Amino acid sequence: MDSVLKSIRASLVPIHREGYPFIAILAFLALFLGWLWGPLFWVGLVATAWCVYFFRDPPRVTPLGAGLVISPADGRVSQVGPALPPPELELGPLPRMRISVFMNVFNCHINRAPVSGRVRKIAYKPGRFLNAELDKASEDNERNGLVIEGEHGTVGVVQIAGLVARRIVCFTRESEALSAGQRFGLIRFGSRLDVYLPEGYAPLVAEGQIAVGGETVLARFGAAADRTVRVD
């Protein structure tokens, strides 16, 4: 019996604690609506189930290796190319290689550190809620940026709110040490993560590729860029 229970627990995806209040509110609304009119209960139940799914926090196996940059989020690689980092991060006036990962409302929204290092700076900037896929969302939208002192220079990672997102959550603090793949925040409910790399890193992903937060290698220090893809 114990082995069966362990197997069941192992197959269940954990829910992040940030989701508990939302799940509780939707569950209460489902019961209340069902009390008013039976069919509304099922509408509320579906909404509650979606909320549970949204706040899932599955364990991830992060690749270990020198000079690796790991995807900070689940989603689609929407942009790969040079761009100016947000000025509040103080990463200099020159463009850096930027890799953007767009999260829709069905992706896991836990954010993970792209590299190991110490958090030198955290900078929050209020803003608009444009579609996070738009390039100007990097400048106009609400965002929260971290500067991580990594093995091969400073890496910037920016949480960008999207069209639906209304809250950026950051778990870490300045001067704390992060390991690559470690959870540092989340965004509710649909958004984007931008990673700004110092010189010497080459992207290993292409636009349109699906990334898995904490597992997919986005770039590598000293590697030759290889973004050749085949679409079947």
Is residue 24 predicted with pLDDT exceeding 60? yes
Average pLDDT in the chain: 87
**For 106-132, what is the mean pLDDT?**
88
Return the pLDDT at 230.
Answer: 47
Is the pLDDT reported for residue 219 higher than 50?
yes
Report the alpha-carbon distance of residue 195 to residue 101 in Å, rounded.
8
Q: Which residue has the higher pLDDT, 3 or 96?
A: 96
Integer angstrom CA distances of residue 173 from 92, 118, 121, 222: 22, 10, 8, 30
Q: What is the DSSP code (8-state) at residue 87?
A: G
- Residue from 71, 78, 138, 191 carrying the catalytic annotation: 191
Give the per-residue pLDDT at 93: 92
Is pLDDT at 5 greater than 60 in this prediction?
no
Contact 57, 213 (CB under 8 A): no
% of the chain beyond a pLDDT of 70: 84
| 7 catalytic per annotation | no
